[in-house]
Structure 1
């Protein structure tokens, strides 16, 4: 069922009695109301913002259903959903592809239940393999129909306005790496376009054997979220070393995509980059540094722990619809080892050309 057909179905529903809940689909004129709700709902995250609908549609061509529930014109809950359909990686519906957090954000149990029922009905209508909610904490505890993917953790830590306190909160060995970057004279700069960041990010993921997103995707993030999406690069004597694209939400900074060139390791470029971002964010008034999602047993997991951040499990929930098992589309799956080694051997320009056609189906 298309988004238009689903909207017609909802719009043609009998008008609710006064005080009853009504399920709606996000339209462009509703975006401000939607985002105002996201700003004040404790369960909502940056990845619940309305702009993700535009990003998913324009960057990847994925269909979306951004449901909300209102009562008397007042929103009581939201659920942004995106559909990914791939012959290789499967067919699924989730909240939200390419986002580390998601799921239902609601102010009442009734709104939550209505959104949950709508998502499950849509998943069945679309014939997907599974429905996935990327809640930080489980929303269906004890329900055997909802399975948990114990693969990811997130890392979040409080920061303060004082640089010295933030520096002293970093464990000694990691603090030494930050000071190494400072000693080399590394500098942080904020760009208004994604060009230099993309060069560093693309080289970094290629070393890992991971397909890269398109440059257009990052440009769309910057265009869509404006000042709440920052592109920061690290330089050494004017030469690019590393780059990070970060989101700002309430009092939180979320470094979301980052990477370095081949010179980054010797210069402690990535270590300095996150310290430089932490400094600038604290000065901007941010009080939570969200280092984001990592897979258990990876180098990224170890790197974040070295900063003194404690892992917090992400209990993503999956309900099987047409599939018989939870898919394992991640680099830790042994069946992808050969692909990773082959990808690392590709010339970087070739990898950058082919990568976006593959990664758009991963989510």
Structure 2
């Protein structure tokens, strides 16, 4: 069996299941940094933030060959009334196992069986990226407006000038329109970025009818990721009207959260926000940008595609105690679930913002997506 570099490998002999605070961090971080499929969510900083902000316990399953790390899997247990569920990882679209060979994945599954047994858990939800979609598949799914969830990923050129030139005239004019409307934008690397981001984000989540992450979650992320967490800010004069958070892992980046104030959307702050972040990342050496999860029938899918993003399958699975794997396709909820969600969202929108911001984090910490 050959690894991703073409070298011959043998079955990893040593599997460890450790709390994230006990793992050999330098080995883990170096493995993630060198792996072609690693995301910013694989960084140990994500686990640190989950434990610090919300108190959910996190583990790392690792496989070793002697002193060399050959496979890793970050895991979190969301503590809930009546028990807890295991997921890799909560509050994001992707994480899952990283390994050099198929034997490495088998070793990780053995470690997961041990962890499930120790915790008395019934399954581990694994969120991983699936195979590339061919042009014919994409065209058919777009035509059907499929509710299948995909990750929208764009590849970035060598400079922001080439990136801007690659856009269609309509997109370029929308970016310029935002600037002509008096909006300005910048990328902040310091902690003050969270101060600017959070009020816009919290207001937008209440408008969407969704419980908001607590401020402590973003403070914990900033502490854990440090300068690998960037905040894009859009202002009209001195008022922040749009903001987004980007996490950087090597030459890849992702945007887990972005929000604008609805009363200013006619000025196109979202267009300037994304352009400012994308141009900054491109000139900083990033070559891949993950716009996050969408389904083919959503407006967000079309919004992301205009920036050059293409759909990549999401392969979500459930790993069982007996070693079997069940497919758990990432799709939109069914009709009944949608109706229930719509009713909850309507009630949440009617809640005073201060109350929503106080209650939201108490609920949000238990919602895995």
- Return the alpha-carbon distance in structure 1 between the equivalents of residues 125 and 345 of structure 2: 26
Distance between the aligned counterparts of 1:40 and 1:300, measured in 2?
31
C-alpha deviation, 1:325, in angstroms? 11
| 273-282 or 185-194, larger mean C-alpha shift | 185-194
Shift of 1:118: 1.7
Deviation at 1:274, TM superposition (A): 0.2
User: How does the TM-score come out when normalised to structure 1?
Assistant: 0.83
Q: Which among 151, 156, 176 is matched to residue 179 of structure 1?
A: 176
What does residue range 1-363 of structure 1 map to in structure 2 within 5 Å? Answer: 20-25=13-18, 26-28=20-22, 30-87=24-81, 91-137=84-130, 151-191=148-188, 192-193=190-191, 194-319=194-319, 333-334=337-338, 335-363=340-368
Name the count of aligned residue pairs: 332
| Distance in 2 separating the partners of 1:131 and 1:155 | 25
Cα deviation 1:123-180 (Å, max 9, x = unaligned): 2443435321111027xxxxxxxxxxx8421111112233343123233433332221
Deviations along 1:218-274, one digit per CA (max 9) or x if unpaired, are 011111011111122111222211111101111122122110113431110011100
* Change in CA separation of 1:134 and 1:70 when aligned onto 2, cut-off 3 Å: same
Is 2:150–2:293's contact at 8 Å kept on the other side of the alignment?
yes
For each residue in 1:60-103, what CA deviation from the matched residue of structure 2 results, as whole angstroms up to 9, or x when unmatched?
Answer: 11111111111211101111100113349x84211111122111
Change (3 A) 1:325 1:21: closer
For 2:329 and 2:212, the matched residues in 1 are separated by 21
Larger mean CA deviation between 182-191 and 231-240 belongs to 182-191
Instruction: Provide the C-alpha distance between the structure 2 equivalents of 1:211 and 1:331, rounded to a whole number of angstroms.
Output: 18
Query: What's the Cα RMSD here?
Result: 2.7
For 1:325 and 1:107, locate their aligned partners in 2 and report how far apart those are by CA, in whole Å: 22
SS of the residue corresponding to residue 24 of structure 2 reads helix
Query: Aligned partners of 1:112 and 1:259: how far apart in 2?
Result: 37
Assess if the C-alpha contact under 8 Å between 1:264 and 1:270 holds in 2. Answer: no
TM-score normalised by L of structure 2: 0.82
- Where does the alignment leave 5 or more consecutive residues of structure 1 unmatched? 1-18, 139-149
Provide the C-alpha distance between the structure 2 equivalents of 1:22 and 1:190, rounded to a whole number of angstroms.
41
